Amino acid sequence: MNHLERKTLIVGNWKMHLSVHQSSLLVHRLTERIKVHRNVEVILAPSMLALQPLSLEMDHRRFQLCAQDAYPKDEGGYTGEVSFAMLGSLVQYCIVGHSARRIYFGETLEMVRDKVEAAVRNGISPIVCIGETKQDRDAGQSRQVIHDQLTTALMNVTSRDLEKVVLVYEPVWAISTFDGIIAKPDDVAKAVAYMRMQVRELYGERAAEKVSVLYGGSVNEHDVRSYLEVPGVDGALVGAASLNYHQFAAIVDEAYRIRIKAEA
């Protein structure tokens, strides 16, 4: 399988930023700037509150909508939570197992596994974040951590459902680092190859070639190309730079340019 058979995905994770009004303004600005390309999907992950209004007003040919998290049970006495079942008609994607969830909210490997399963069951593509912390890295544990996160997350996913799953390599030490610590394309190449190898062991050669694997961690308009050119990387999960429409539109433009050149 040629890597061009996989789409390029650019995800904007707005995290806990922007009111509904500001979210709507950002989508408006992005609509003016972002072109439609059939092989580049632009996925926006606003706060839970903004999902409904944005879904009504945005151009669905241009953007796909993504939740940042959801609860794995479909319904019940889980005060304060929103389920994948409730989001099913609203979003196409949901981020699962983001390091912020794992670190600040104590999300375990098993919780991530249940969320991935619930997403798939409700027709939502989970965007599963996988990556080691600085501590893991310093201790030489990166591969073990990636292995454990990936194999548990996919534990209840059948080979047919794997087509809906998107994986992201997000080394925690490279997320929102404004002080210069970024992942080198070479680090990313090794981790992504290792992740595909894990998928190959679990689901076989064809599945490993088909699954989308993105990179995330301090991606901006200047370095996005160096990540998108890494073999096996199908896109980027962008945090801070996705809040600025100049930067995010420039990132999407780079993705278009790389795609158009590769397809020529």
Q: Is 13 in the site for ligand PGA (CB under 6 A)?
A: yes
Q: CA separation (Å) from 104 to 12, 87, 152, 157, 261? A: 21, 23, 20, 26, 41
CA 264, CA 252: separation in Å to the nearest integer? 18
Residue 126 or 217 having the CB closest to ligand PGA: 217
Question: Residues 106, 126: contact at Cβ < 8 Å?
Answer: no
Active-site residue, 246 included? no
- Which of 170, 221, 234, 254: binder of ligand PGA (CB under 6 A)? 170
Answer yes or no whether residue 46 interacts with ligand PGA by CB under 6 A.
no
Q: CA torsion, points 252, 13, 192, 133, in degrees to nearest 10?
A: 140
Query: Scanning residues 219 to 248, which ones bind ligand PGA (CB under 6 A)?
Result: 219, 237-241
Residue 149 binds ligand PGA, judged by CB under 6 A:
no
147 belongs to the catalytic site: no
- In the complex, minimum distance from the CB of residue 31 to ligand PGA, in angstroms, rounded to a whole number: 22
Give the residue with the Cβ less far from ligand PGA, 98 or 115.
98
Give the one residue of 24, 92, 125, 218 binding ligand PGA; rule: CB under 6 A: 218
Nearest to 87, CA basis, from 134, 57, 58, 47: 47
Cα distances (angstroms) measured from residue 62 to each of 13, 48, 77: 16, 20, 37
Q: Active-site residues: which are they? A: 98, 170
**Interacting residues with ligand PGA (CB under 6 A):** 13, 98, 170, 175-176, 216-219, 237-241
